Each structure stands twice: as structure tokens, then as C-alpha cells.
Amino acid sequence: MNNALAENIRNDLYPSRTGKTTRILDRIDPVVNNRNIIGQYSLDTEQLEQYESDGFLLIRNYIPKEIIHELTDELGRLSADETIRELDNVITEPDNNEVRSLFNLPQMSHMFDKISRSRQLLDIVMQLLGGPVYLHQSRINIKPAFRGKSFPWHSDFETWHVEDGLPRIRCLSCSIFLTENNPYNGPLFVIPGSHKYYISCAGETPENHFRVSLKKQYYGSPDESALEQLLAGKQINGCFGEPSDLLIFDGNIMHGSPDNISNMPRTNLFLAYNSCENPPQEPFCGMKRRPVFLANTDCSPLEII
């Protein structure tokens, strides 16, 4: 074991995948890091309180329709290119060759780079995370009609911590709905309040786990006992909405999505931001880093455009 990894393990505030037992730990880090208005699109007091309490916030009709059309057209252009299916940052469905996810979007498209650094998003993100941020990960998740597959319950931070080395929970995701998200086409579901606890999952991370987990996740998903405790006195919340809606959710909230059983595709853009004061260390699982298209190592602050 190298010195950097040994030091990481000693200072690990959120251990996971270290044995056969699942544990529920208290969250150490704050959810809201700054309550002041920092820009035109900052959240108000009521919105901040809801986000802090529930771990997510759904804002209706937030992104202008013309931008949604531009993003959808750009996605269509990228998806129509048969050669992209050979790229490492393009993931196909587990049982066919349909595109499931495209990662590292700002590197693929100026349009997606522009939206990731827009004032509409960064005013909120920098307010919640308390300062400058960078894009830890970006992706579009596509669930084709009838064939789009599920994502099991998981916390993004658990993976980002164990496999990417993010030390603290100072991260979040913005999801822009590019299509309707309804109860039948595989929308995101969340457990409100679950972000206040950290689920230390059982098992050990296999080498190159990402090659399998992007199609179907086996490690980093909590067991039924932990989920029962998280759900005690709570109801699962379905994040349903229309194109142009914005969903902001804490990096540690428990979420997942079912199969798409409808005749409507479900397509969402996900932009995962991390505080520049929370740069990645060595992965806490002891494995080599995931590829940069999954875990950006350039922590330079994003500039608003």
C-alpha cells in the first residue's frame, strides 16, 4: 500500500465497500454552504430550506424552450454518428447497441459546454456549494421507448468518493429534462431526506468496475435493510416534469430509476459539479483512477458565460 492511499484510509470520513456489512452513517458536511444571494439566479430562502430538508429541488420551466430545442438537436446530431459508439465515453444498453449514456459532453460539443457554464446554473451551484466549482462529470442518460433499462438505488457521492477520491460531500447534480419525464418512461426517483445519511455499502470494488457499472451497477448499491431504514416514515418521490424543467439534487441523495415501459423515450442531461475546495484525492478503494471522462481531474474554476 502506497503512502498516499494509507493516508487516505486513515482520514476517510465516509468509508464504504470495506467488508461484508452495510452501515448507515451520519453526514458530516453541510448541505447548503452559502445562504447569501450571489447572483441573479440564486435560490431564495424558501428554496434553500426545501433543498436542505429534502436534498433536491425541482424548478419548473427553468431553461428556455429554445435552448432545450438546441440541446436536443445537438444530441440528435451526436447520436446519429455511428462512429461514436466506439468511443470509451459512449455507453450502450446492456443487451443491445443503443446509446445509453454519453459522457464528457463539453469536450464533444460547444453547445453543452455553454449550458454547463451558464449563469442560470452556476449562480445556484456556487451558492449551494459555497464558492467556485468545476465540472466533475457530465452526461446524457437516454432511455429508449420500451427498452431503456433501470438504474438501481445509489448515492452518486458514494461512487465519486470510493472510486474517484472526492473526500467530502460538497457536490451536486443539475439535471435538465430534454423530454417529458413521466411515471412510465423511467424517471428519476429519490428518497427525500436520505442525503442526511451516508450508506457505507458492503463488498469490495473490483478493478475497472466502471466498465460494468455504467451498464449495470453491482457495487455501491445499498442492501434492503438500509433502504428500509431510509424509507421509514418517508415516501419515494418521483421527479416528473416537462422539457425545460431543472432538477437539482445533492450528491449524496439516494436515487434510482426503473425501466422505461412506455412508448416515449426519456432523455436527461446531467451536470455534476464539485467544489474547487474539494479536489479529488487518491481513490479510497485503492484502485487506479477512473478515466477522466467519468471523473474530471481538472479542478480549475468554471467561468460563467
Asked if residues 220 and 213 have their Cβ atoms less than 8 Å apart, the reply is yes
Quote the cell numbers at residue 107.
469536450
Give residue-wise pLDDT tens across range 189-229: 999 999 999 999 998 887 655 445 454 555 789 999 999 99
- What's the CA gap between 295 and 134, in Å, rounded? 11
Neighbours of 187 (CB within 10 A): 21
Structural element, H or E, at residue 171: strand 171-177
Report residues of the chain scoring pLDDT below 50: 210-211, 213, 215
Give residue-wise pLDDT tens across range 53-84: 999 999 999 999 999 999 999 998 888 887 87
Asked if residues 201 and 221 have their Cβ atoms less than 8 Å apart, the reply is yes
Taking alpha carbons only, the member of 80, 124, 134 closest to residue 102 is 80
Q: What is the mean pLDDT of the chain?
A: 91
Sheet holding 56-59, edge to edge: 56-59, 246-250, 171-177, 266-275, 133-143, 99-103, 90-92
Q: Check residue 215 and give its pLDDT.
A: 47
The full set of domains in the chain, from first to last, is 3-275 (2.60.120.620)
